Structure 1
Amino acid sequence: MAFFSRSLLAAAITFSSFSSYATLEKKQCDVELSHGLIITDDVIRIVDKGQTRVQINNDNQLFIRGYWVDLSPEESKVVEQFSRGIRQTVPELVDLATDGVNLGLSAIEQVVEGMSDKEPEVLKTQLQYVERALMDKFKRGDDFFFIAPQSLSKIDDFFTKEISQKIHSAVHGSLGAILVSLGDAFKSREGNIEDRINDMGQRMDIISKEIDKSLQKKAEQLEMKASEYCECLNSLDVTESRLQQMVPGMADFDLVQIKS
């Protein structure tokens, strides 16, 4: 079984590449969203602890804590600027953050398929953790976008560190189950054990490289967008400040915070 152990070790080393990303030069843009946002075609909701605190309908109707605010024409114009500023930035950010990740998770399931009689339960559980971590930060449906409160300057770290480490754990967690399955096959002389081990190592090597490239590309895309997001969000912060001066109730739910 020495060959078997060496092959599993090689597969584990291959997957250590998940956490070996080149350090990207970060642009200084320390912007935070202090509340969550849910955006649909007609409505923007600023949420806190699952409750809608501010709602903007059709870019021109404002509700604070569920109460409609009677706006002057000038105030309506600023509300519209604020609403459109959010729409110009957040949906694109959520799209960029979520695109491709589910494909990567499916690829991991495929690489395990065929190496054991059934998909290890630990893999399902770990991949659920990955999906939950992503959806806690970004979520996209057929008719809505969601982004959680967070520092936008650290989005790329979320993928190159947190998500990659969770995927790393998912794969390593499944190796034990694969080992048991292959060991059972060896004992019962079902098939050629060495061929199956070689196939496992090759498939894991291919898929790890593809996922590695996918996550690295996403981090680079987010890094390239950092300057653009920073400019948009700085402009949005200026608009929000004007709105807070006109409608003091908005100051209780300061959405965009520039830290630097």
Structure 2
Amino acid sequence: MKFLSVLILAIMLPSGLQAAECNMAFVHGILIAPDHIRILQNNRTHVQINADQQLFIRGEWITLAEADTALLQQYSQDLRKFVPEIVSIAVDGVELGLSSVEAMFTGIGSKAQQAEWRELVRETTFQWMSRFVRTNEHFYLAPQSLQELDYFLNDELKPQLDNLARHTVGAVWGALRDALRHSDNNFERADSQEWQSVGQLVDKINLGLDAKVVEMETKSALFCQRMQELDQVEQALQQRIPALKSYDVLALKD
């Protein structure tokens, strides 16, 4: 039933259609932590909001009027609701694929081979997680638009996970064949099982990623609206605190 629902939604919603219509983008990196929010540029913190009500710009504490504090609190709480949701969609997709790959070589091959395979997975994870980070209650989103997030799920994550799965699982079954060479029957069984197992793994990964793509597509219009509303709050805050105008978090992207 779950698969059927995903399939129906996928047919109803052409890939990337909703996200492509939104030209809003995050133009600075955002780090959400339980006690603060940081707005980053080139990995350096330029704006920090503590406890949703204290504002620091380039390390300087900004004295706020009561109305300014109320607007800052609204802005901060909106970011706290929104950014983790976007990050989680991307991270869930990555973790789903990588956990499926890692499960295949648990307990197989020598320690050196396992270390090599895990290093390959770690390298792949690092490349993706420089854009999306979820660690306990900490969330990081790199500068990007909704369209770029849609592209990541549709056109970047899928083929790279496919290649990783085929490379790693092929190596795993290669190790098994080496271990089973003493028996021709076992060798033949392992050899014929290789492609079936790789195909099953790739199908499993793609099915899970398709669900994340559909989730992204169904939420894209809502996400775009929330970004526009958040941008309005940001602009109102910038009118009251002109020093913030240099640190647009949200903007229209050409």
Q: Which bin holds the TM-score, normalised by the shorter protein?
A: 0.7 to 0.9
Q: Which residue of 1 aligns with 2:79?
A: 86
CA 1:79 to 1:114, structure 2 compared with 1: closer, same or farther past 3 Å?
closer
Q: Counterpart of 1:41 in 2: which secondary structure?
A: coil
Deviation of residue 25 (structure 1)? 4.6
Aligned: 1:60 with 2:53: yes
Q: How does 1:116-127 map to 2 (within 5 A)?
A: 119=113, 123-127=117-121
Counterpart amino acid of 1:108?
V
Q: 1:26 aligns with which of 13, 17, 21?
A: 17
Q: Note if 1:71 corresponds to 2:64.
A: yes
CA distance in 1, matches of 2:214, 2:94: 15
Alignment partner, residue 135 of structure 2:
141
Q: Distance in 2 between matches of 1:177 and 1:188?
A: 19
Question: Does structure 2 conserve the Cα–Cα contact (< 8 Å) formed by 1:126 and 1:169?
Answer: no
Counterpart of 1:234 in structure 2 is 228
Structure 1: distance between partners of 2:195 and 2:170: 14
Work out which of the residue numbers 215, 235, 243 in structure 1 matches 2:237.
243
SS of 1:192 mapped into structure 2: helix
How much has 1:175 moved relative to structure 2? 5.9
Within-5 A mapping of 1:203-214: 203-214=197-208
Q: Could you tell me the percent identity over the aligned residues?
A: 31
Which sections of structure 2, spanning at least 5 residues, go unmatched? 1-9
Which residue of the other structure, out of 83, 88, 94, is the alignment partner of 1:95?
A: 88
Cα deviation 1:122-160 (Å, max 9, x = unaligned): 643432233113311111112311111111222122022
| Per-residue CA distance 1:178-230 (angstroms, 9 max, x = gap) | 57546645754476211112222332222221111011111111111111111
Structure 2 Cα separation of the partners of residues 228 and 40 of structure 1:
24
Cα displacement string for residues 2-51 of structure 1 (whole angstroms, at most 9, x for unaligned residues): xxxxxxxxxxxxxxxxxxx9851512111111111111222111011221
The one of 123, 126, 140 equivalent to 1:132 is 126
Q: 1:129 to 1:156 in 2, by over 3 A?
A: farther
Alignment gaps of 5+ in structure 1: 1-20
Letter in 1 for 2:152: F
- Shift of residue 70 of structure 1? 0.7
Partner Cα distance (2:16, 2:174) in 1: 43
Partner SS for 2:73: helix
Q: Deviations over 1:80-109 (max 9, x none)?
A: 121122112111111222125324312213
8 Å Cα contact 1:94/1:145 also seen in 2: yes
- Separation in 2 of the partners of 1:36 and 1:226? 20
The alpha-carbon distance between structure 1 residues 25 and 172, as it changes in their structure 2 partners (threshold 3 A), is: closer
AA aligned opposite 1:231: Q
| d(CA) in 2 for partners of 1:164, 1:122 | 22
Q: Please state how far the C-alpha of 1:233 moved relative to its aligned partner.
A: 0.7
Instruction: Tell me if structure 2 keeps the 8 A contact 1:54–1:66.
Output: yes
SS in 1 for 2:251: strand
Letter in 1 for 2:136: D
Q: Which moved more, 1:160-169 or 1:244-253?
A: 160-169
| One-letter amino acid of the structure 1 residue matched with residue 143 of structure 2 | P
Distance 1:184 1:85, change over 3 A: closer
Q: Partner letter of residue 132 of structure 2?
A: F
